[in-house]
Amino acid sequence: FYNEETHTELSIKKARKIYPQGEDVVKIITTDIKFRENFADKIFLIFSLHEVRNRREKIKFINELYRVLKDGGEIVIIEHLRNLNNFIAYSVGFFHFYSDNYWRNVF
């Protein structure tokens, strides 16, 4: 769900150079996912949702995910947190992540 016009974090640009997208990748717009309602059984966002920096866009994206999710389906979100463990691992880079409290307020 990377959009180079709105997702301008340097870390994403570096990652795209090292790991270019495969040809089978389906590009989506976070605020308008082009899948029908009740499309997916499971949706996984692994260490990626924090890259959507705009809170309003993030909330619209989550709403879109629920729209395309089948009844009884699951959305699995795994994220880094801005906490002591990530400070030890990433030093000041941990400021790139959001706090547990932030995530609880988004949902």
Structure tokens at 36: 């029908």
Domains defined along the chain, listed by start? 10-106 (3.40.50.150)
The conformational region for residue 25 under phi > 0 = left, psi -120 to 50 = alpha, else beta, is beta
The conformational region for residue 91 under phi > 0 = left, psi -120 to 50 = alpha, else beta, is left
Give the separation between CA 62 and CA 93, rounded to whole angstroms: 25
Provide the whole-model pTM. 0.81
Predicted confidence band of residue 15 (pLDDT cuts 50, 70, 90) = confident
Whether residue 62 is predicted with pLDDT greater than 90 in this model: the reply is yes
